[in-house]
Amino acid sequence: MAEQTRLKEEDVQVQLQRFFADMTQKIPLFLFCEPGKNEPFAEGARQIIRAIREITDKVSLQEYTLKHELAKKWQITGSPTLVFAPETYKIRWLGAPLGHEVQTFMEALRIIGTRNPGLSKEAMKVLAKLDSPRAVKVFVSPSCPYCPQAAVNGIRAAVARPDLVSLEIIDIQANPDLADQYAAQSVPQTFANEKQIGLGAQPEELFVASLAALEPQRVFIPDSDAEEISCDLVIVGGGPAGLTAGIYAARSGLQAVVVEKGVLGGQVATTPMVENYPGFTQVGGKTLVDIMVTHALEYVKIFPGEEVQDIVPGELFTVTTTRRRYKARAVLLATGAGNKRLGVEGEERLGGRGVSYCSTCDGPLFKGKKVIMVGGGDSAVTEALHLHNIGVEVTMVHRREGLRAQERLLVTLRQSGIPVLFNSEVVEILGEAGVKAVRLKSNQTGKESTLPVDGVFIAIGYDPAVKLAQGLGAELTPEGYIKKDARHRTTVPGVYSAGDVEGGFKQIVTAAGQGSEAALAIFEDLMNPYWTVQKKR
Ligand code: NAP
């Protein structure tokens, strides 16, 4: 075991040395810290840079206090602030690259060190047309797996157009005042020229389009000369179902690709702890995802940060994403499900301003504050426990007499002492710039009351992501899931489904099982297409 660990560490060292060897440029870093202010963040930043400098001399570091003339010249007021290669770029980090943000920091070094923004051709076309400055601010948190995608989008744009794009990556935990000023209580959140252009992670093409328009864009269709990839199977969605399908399809000999618009792993990536995936007594959701992705990458090409915009059936399917087109013989929809909304007054308006669907991402900002967790299932209880464990004062609000979560979770909940308001419904979320209170109604007495809170976390289940299926004309079940047969065939020949989008038990292990079944069925069908047999009859 010790020998294995040593070999793994050597492996990482070699990979890191290779990583830095590819860099053509030196990266001067300037760290500004005020003694006694945000010390743990300052020390965190120092430690990671120190560790990197032990591997490479391509990164240099100079540290100053906020009283230094450079701090005044560059108008730096926050401690710690990290400035990257200021001769060439306008990129700053307010806070420290910790947790998930280590990934962003390494990407920043790669992009700056190679002078290669690494943006798609389609995104570069949009940026090339930019003709006025954009001051970008991306609010992130070390606990948020979605944040690296948003922050890296900003870095790529700032490196692609250093003449016009400046960037501040703002860690909300180190800068709660700035987060308050922008009412950014949910991460990631992106602003440009003081306007919000993105809430949540965006594929890079949608980010640059939003940056150009100075308002959030939802659709991006690539130019007709965009790259085209031919394959047997396009798997839409990089959660457990899609990743498992990728492994099984490739092992069957199919050329398959996995396309994922957001973060790989789907809902699992933001699940604080998983305790029922065989082989792991307890594993962090993101860790489980990383293991699955590493495994899948052994077999199948994965294209993250790319959103499927359209699927057109034909002799071959044409799958158009924000980046390119795929021609494929079959399509597997493993699109999962999105967070269900409560549908009450104030929920949408205060989204990102204290209303959250991700306790892993946004929980740390509510440490020592009062929040409610709405819902009574496994998700609500798991997330309430997570909030409680990180020091948030959480109360559960559930519309029934009892919770429906697993007994094991209920025992832990009782032990935690988290209060639960039963038979209570949220009828309105109150507040202007941020959440201030909720209006609750007892569904037994009809009596209404107001509960002052700083945040509202919602975990009331998921709505299946069926837009692409509907666009293809696939039938849905009365509950709104994709209708499929025992072989995961939808009602559209050549189109299959797997995972939460099919309904059913919605467990990680069932999603993985459905992904494998679908891939095997697709392999057999492509060998002997049932739709041509049907046509001949
Ligand atoms: P869920 O099991 O569907 O539970 C949703 C909860 O939200 C229910 O208690 C429901 O109330 C409540 N609800 C739904 N709509 C509501 C509304 N409009 N207003 C107020 N409350 C509302 O969803 P989930 O907890 O997200 O779990 C989804 C799936 O993932 C489940 O299969 C679950 O087992 C699985 N999961 C497993 C784990 C784990 O194993 N550790 C963790 C997370 C999720 P009612 O009870 O009144 O319907």
Q: What is the pLDDT of residues 18-32, one digit of tens each?
A: 888 888 999 999 999
Q: Is the pLDDT of residue 88 over 80?
A: yes
290 assigned to active site: no
Distance (angstroms) between ligand 1 centre and the Cα of 517 equals 26
pLDDT of residue 17: 81
Residue that has been written with the tokens 């832990």 in this structure? 412
Return the ∠ at Cα 356 (arms to 342 and 108), rounded to 5°.
145
pLDDT of residue 213: 97
> Distance of alpha carbon 107 from its chain centroid, rounded?
16
| Pocket lining: 400 vs ligand 1, CB cutoff 6 Å | yes
Query: 1-10, 121-130, 525-534: lowest mean pLDDT where?
Result: 1-10
CB atoms under 10 Å from CB of 67, counted, come to 9
Confidence band (pLDDT; 50, 70, 90) for 174? very high
- pTM of this prediction? 0.84
Q: Is the pLDDT of residue 428 over 90?
A: yes
Confidence band (pLDDT; 50, 70, 90) for 3? low
CB 248 within 8 A of CB 514: no
147 assigned to active site: no
| Pocket lining: 461 vs ligand 1, CB cutoff 6 Å | yes
- For the record, the structure tokens of 329 come out as 């013989």
pLDDT of residue 493: 96
Distance (angstroms) between ligand 1 centre and the Cα of 312 equals 34
Of the residues 276, 378, 439, which should be mutated to test ligand 1's pocket, given the most ligand atoms within 8 Å of the CB? Answer: 378
Mean pLDDT of the chain: 94
pLDDT of residue 19: 84
| Pocket lining: 90 vs ligand 1, CB cutoff 6 Å | no
Distance (angstroms) between ligand 1 centre and the Cα of 230 equals 40
CB 272 within 8 A of CB 369: no
| Pocket lining: 399 vs ligand 1, CB cutoff 6 Å | yes
CA atoms of 444 and 398, how far apart (whole Å): 13
| Pocket lining: 377 vs ligand 1, CB cutoff 6 Å | yes
Confidence band (pLDDT; 50, 70, 90) for 535? low
CA atoms of 82 and 167, how far apart (whole Å): 12
Of the chain, the percentage scoring pLDDT greater than 70 comes to 97
Q: Which of 33, 144, 147, 358 is catalytic?
A: 358
pLDDT of residue 119: 96
Q: Is the pLDDT of residue 8 over 70?
A: no
Q: Which residues of 33-62 are buried (b: 16+ CB within 10 A; e: fewer)?
A: bbeeebeebbebbbebbeebeeebebbebe
Give pLDDT tens digits for 222-279.
Answer: 988 889 999 999 999 999 999 999 999 999 999 999 999 988 998 899 888 898 999 9
Show Cβ contacts of residue 369 under 8 Å, excluding neighbours closer than 6 positions: 392, 393, 454, 455
Distance (angstroms) between ligand 1 centre and the Cα of 174 equals 33
Confidence band (pLDDT; 50, 70, 90) for 506? confident
358 assigned to active site: yes
DSSP H helices in 161-270:
176-181, 204-213, 240-251
Ligand 1 atom closest to 400 (CA): 47
Question: Mean pLDDT throughout 449-477?
Answer: 97
Residue 413 to residues 70, 109, 315, 381, 388: CA-CA distances in angstroms?
Answer: 52, 43, 54, 7, 10
Distance (angstroms) between ligand 1 centre and the Cα of 405 equals 8
pLDDT of residue 124: 97
| Pocket lining: 505 vs ligand 1, CB cutoff 6 Å | yes
CA atoms of 38 and 31, how far apart (whole Å): 13
| Pocket lining: 153 vs ligand 1, CB cutoff 6 Å | no
CA atoms of 9 and 4, how far apart (whole Å): 9
Distance (angstroms) between ligand 1 centre and the Cα of 377 equals 4
Of the residues 382, 399, 442, which should be mutated to test ligand 1's pocket, given the most ligand atoms within 8 Å of the CB? Answer: 399
Task: Say whether 288 sits in a helix, a strand or coil.
Answer: helix
Distance (angstroms) between ligand 1 centre and the Cα of 381 equals 9
For ligand 1, atom 43: residue with the closest CA: 379
| Pocket lining: 270 vs ligand 1, CB cutoff 6 Å | no
- For the record, the structure tokens of 492 come out as 């559209």
Give pLDDT tens digits for 270-310.
Answer: 888 898 999 999 999 999 999 999 999 999 999 999 999 99
Give pLDDT tens digits for 399-409.
Answer: 999 999 999 99
Confidence band (pLDDT; 50, 70, 90) for 517? very high
Give pLDDT tens digits for 323-366.
Answer: 999 999 999 999 999 899 999 999 999 999 999 999 988 998 89
Full set of structural domains in the chain with CATH? 19-213 (3.40.30.80), 228-338+463-536 (3.50.50.60), 355-460 (3.50.50.60)
Ligand 1 atom closest to 403 (CA): 9
pLDDT of residue 328: 98
Confidence band (pLDDT; 50, 70, 90) for 1? very low
Residue that has been written with the tokens 């967790």 in this structure? 373
